[in-house]
Structure 1
């Protein structure tokens, strides 16, 4: 590997750690937004993210490229669907944070890679390898263990895992045609009318809106949701362009690990025996899934090298 490639890989790793690190500490930020509730926070997050994205488009002179995306009805419809899916994810996550269920939310993001594999089977008709089926089976066992110990299904975990997995699946349909800022702009633009309506409804209720009535620091923090939404996405996009998919996949576990630490150490949420056992099973499933990805990546590289060697040998023989 050349010095330039090593530099790109190091920068990519730093961007990945920055993205997942910020996502891991997001619960702490959302706690600062109280007494605003989940619906109000998500609504302001949508609107201020749209404002921040508009500033980024202006700063990078990307309005012409964004206008081209707006003219593509299929892209607009796809990103609107992605926006609706990620709003479900955001609302559930913030509700979990504010209501003392952050550990359950962390479990959802640990489950997410397995759900993504499962969605590939159901939606894309992909065929799983044996190790992937083993990981799926272990994950199902983990959910059963947690549900039995908890007395009910971990709905927050499942909603987060399936909503984010579906979001990734939808984004995959647009491939490389939509950049990180353009995609978030389209998503928030599609959801902005619903966010505005939600704020009107919340404001008309007894307590009214917390924004503007809970002091300047809280109002500034709500405005900052636009920044804390867009910056990790930009970091992730920068990491994805510099790192192999296998390396990027391994770094994604940093976010739920940090969320688990915040939930247990800072918010003092309980970790029962069944929860520890369920998490342990999920980590085993993720280890199996990660090992499968690394082995498959190595096998594909070997096949590519063999094909290249054969091609060179044939050309030499001629």
Structure 2
């Protein structure tokens, strides 16, 4: 089968290749997905560069972390899915391998694809929507009536988080670039801040929760906006977290999302009800995976980049 691989770590344009590799084995708990689309994420280009993986590669690595497609086979103990089902999943991060014609995923990580979504739209959701869901419902326990500040509300995680926060009944404030103001409003944000022309920490009233997807100075400037006992949850590292928690009287959690098929099923329900819509910006063929990774690496994109994989 065709798959996007790396044989060594390095710059995207130097090491990403399209190869012929064996199809994955199907374990007793696995769902073999004939992939139709795969989402491209910042973590993917970091993996290419060897981020937090100092050891060299002993064998080629197939890239990719989220997939949508059609079930081609199931393992002996699988009961929730059958051949022909349309599904999507955030694959096990220890395995990856979503940029391929076939992907084997543990049944517990898979969910049925909403019928109204294209494969490209479905592939754009698992990682970002699960990140947003876990940040808001587990890490910060956002409640109806509370105020949440979501940074980068037009990015992958941010766009999902704005919609999920509205579903939870929160008042949503978000920061975006000037060309994303209307998009953020269409997603349901109550207050949209143009971060290039406004200082968010001068115009935002106190909030119960901050979802930080940026880090650095943006993260530091967010702490004073939290109400006493509020929570800052971040998908990037929090420098001196304990000191900041003590200084501001708040909670501060940095986390990395986990795959979860049951939660992805809940997210699919939000899509079906119209409360969550994917925001896809660019669709490229599998053969142009290096270009897709380079686009994501440049950052500041409105919406998601997705690879289309021919049936």
| TM-score, normalized by the shorter chain, greater than 0.5 | no
What is the TM-score with the length of structure 2 in the denominator? 0.25
What is the TM-score with the length of structure 1 in the denominator? 0.25
Name whichever structure is richer in strand by fraction: 2
Name whichever structure is richer in helix by fraction: 1
